[in-house]
A and B are shown apart, each in its own frame.
Chain A
């Protein structure tokens, strides 16, 4: 299984919106609604931000939204804040009951 493809980095100014893409195949992103997004600050464990393509866990800001089209999932962060600066990872359930992560995207808030 190959890692999902994410841009290495994205950036935006405070208050702006950014979108991170996550491209897989019909065996993972395109074939399942089990797509997740995690936020990871340096030295910390990842934090679940989105589950099942577009659902936010309790406590996650509604500035975070997500969707999927075909084999690509998207995470959008609106109203960027300094605290959003982190690494973001997508993941997807895959064939044969396995899981695959994306390579990660570093978000810089300018």
Chain B
């Protein structure tokens, strides 16, 4: 059973870069035809897809965030990461990592609240 765990700062200053890591356990990040995704949820709002990465490195991003988002994978650490640059208060949200397919998410992390504030 694959388990996911987000980690990273809970507070980020405006204009800085938000960085989160998702650690995968119970399976290899490069062990199958899996995709690794990031999704966020603004407080009291719905889900927003951020993007996904295939373990070999191909990425797809939400067009509305594409200019600010980078998703990468570190197979040696069995982790994948999210970087969101030039953040504003509008980026305050719970960030989830999820897998295993492009659009089907059987596995979710517990979520990581990131607040953008000075």
Contacts and interface: CB of A to CB of B under 8 A. Distances in A.
Interface of A: 1, 3, 34, 36, 38, 45-48, 51-52, 57, 89, 91-93, 96-104
B103 A34 contact: yes
Nearest to A57: B106
A92 B104 CA distance: 9
Interface residues of B, number: 22
A98 B108 contact: no
Nearest to B61: A98
Given A34-B104, A91-B103, A98-B63, A46 B110 contact: no
Contacts, number: 60
Contacts of A46: 47, 96, 105, 108
Interface of B: 37, 45-49, 52, 60-64, 96, 102-106, 108-111
Q: Which 7 A-B pairs have the closest CB atoms?
A: A45-B108, A104-B46, A93-B103, A99-B49, A101-B47, A97-B60, A103-B46
A102 B46 CA distance: 8
